[in-house]
Structure 1
Amino acid sequence: MTTIDTTTLDTPAGPLSVLVGPDGAIRAAGFTAAPESLLPLVHPSLRGTLRPYAGLGPVTAAVNAYLDGELTAIDEVPVTQHSDGVFLTHAWTVLRDVKPGDPITYTRYAALAGRPAAVRAAAAACARNAAALFVPCHRVLRTDGTLGGYRYGLEVKRWLLGHERRLTAS
Structure 2
Amino acid sequence: MTMPTAPALGWTTVATADGPFTVLYDDADTVHAAGWTESAEYLAGLIAPALRGGQLSRRPAGPVADAVTAYYDGDFAAPSGVAVRQIAGPFIAAAWSALRLVPAGYPVTYGQLAERAGRPAAVRGAAQCCVRNAAALFVPCHRVTRASGGLGGFRYGLDLKRNLLAREEPPPDLED
Q: TM-score, normalised by structure 2?
A: 0.91
Partner AA of 1:89 in structure 2: A
Q: Is 2:158 the partner of 1:154?
A: yes
The equivalences for 1:133-152 within 5 A come to 133-152=137-156
Q: Choose which of 57, 65, 72 in structure 2 pairs with 1:67.
A: 72
Partner of 2:82: 77
Max Rg structure: 2
Report the count of equivalent residues.
166
Per-residue CA deviation, residues 59-108 of structure 1 (Å, 9 max, x unaligned), is 1111111101111111111111111x111111101100000000010111
Partner of 1:128: 132
Q: Choose which of 118, 122, 135 in structure 2 pairs with 1:118.
A: 122
Partner of 1:164: 168
Q: Is 2:20 the partner of 1:15?
A: yes
User: Which ranges in structure 2 are unaligned for 5 or more consecutive residues?
Assistant: none
Percent sequence identity over aligned pairs: 49
Q: Choose which of 43, 64, 71 in structure 1 pairs with 2:48.
A: 43
Tell me if the contact between 2:109 and 2:147 (Cα under 8 Å) persists in the aligned partners: yes
Q: Which runs of 4+ in 1 moved over 2 A?
A: none
Partner Cα distance (1:35, 1:157) in 2: 21
Tell me if the contact between 1:71 and 1:164 (Cα under 8 Å) persists in the aligned partners: yes
Q: Choose which of 97, 100, 104 in structure 2 pairs with 1:96.
A: 100
Partner Cα distance (2:66, 2:28) in 1: 17
Tell me if the contact between 2:24 and 2:40 (Cα under 8 Å) persists in the aligned partners: yes
Partner Cα distance (1:75, 1:117) in 2: 26
Shift of 1:35: 1.4
Partner Cα distance (2:28, 2:92) in 1: 22
Partner AA of 1:39 in structure 2: A
CA root-mean-square deviation: 1.1
More helix by share: 1
The structure showing larger relative contact order (alpha-carbon pairs under 8 Å, at least 6 residues apart) is 1
Tell me if the contact between 1:14 and 1:156 (Cα under 8 Å) persists in the aligned partners: no
Partner AA of 1:145 in structure 2: G
